[in-house]
Structure 1
């Protein structure tokens, strides 16, 4: 899709802004976070041994990302600084600003069989990987028939 960087038709630009704003309100938040458009983008998966969460947050200082696990709810929070030129400079005109900047908070409900004492979080190449082990009692095991 072609999108001009310089608005030539004010009515078309207002129509585009209205469609964009209405799409923001379509994503209703829930305990599992935003269905789309939230920052950081998340991939959440599970194996029989663990729950794996990947948060895509390039350019973040890992020390400034808060990761909390409380009663089966994982919370990621922090603030991403603006990287765009300052809009207050009268010589700067910002035409497109699609990079998220500001405070963020993502909340993920987890299954009941996780072990809150067995959690690891690693940040590498802009990806925060959180691994939460499941309790040993809930792991599948083979029972020998005698």
Structure 2
């Protein structure tokens, strides 16, 4: 039986994108990309990563040559329900996000805190060197 629906260009684009990307139920268990918020003030850069369902021991934060990398895994929950049908819309899998940083960061003072499914990284800035005139003796 074919269901009729009103024509909508946006809905058609959405259907096309889903077909192109192969979006289906298998995609839910194959990829997870956490949402990230970044900001800065006079003293530091801040990275906030939403990681619901991820355990602290499944996270890594690395800094190397002005790049900070955040990686980890949200593991699939093996649940079986015999009596009911259910649909899982949660994404699982490994993830990695990297950010380039300017030379003006204090790599030794970078800190990370994981609480309530949110990873907060603080990257302090180094005070800029002030230009000055050098007296010749």
TM-score over 0.5 for the alignment?
yes
TM-score bucket of the superposed structures, by smaller chain: 0.5 to 0.7
| CA RMSD between the two structures | 3.3
Give 1:20 shift.
2.4
Q: How does 1:1-146 map to 2 (within 5 A)?
A: 18-22=16-20, 39-83=33-77, 85=79, 93-95=85-87, 97-137=88-128
Give 1:85 shift.
3.2
Give 1:115 shift.
1.0
In structure 2, do the counterparts of structure 1 residues 83 and 115 end up closer, same or farther at CA, with 3 Å as the change threshold?
Answer: same
Q: Which has the larger radius of gyration?
A: 2
Q: Distance in 2 between matches of 1:19 and 1:128?
A: 31
How many pairs are equivalent?
A: 115
Aligned to 2:26: none
In structure 2, do the counterparts of structure 1 residues 23 and 109 end up closer, same or farther at CA, with 3 Å as the change threshold?
Answer: farther
Q: State the TM-score, normalized to the length of structure 1.
A: 0.64
Query: Which residues of structure 1 form unaligned runs of 5+?
Result: 1-7, 25-36, 140-146
Query: Which residues of structure 2 form unaligned runs of 5+?
Result: 6-12, 23-30, 131-137
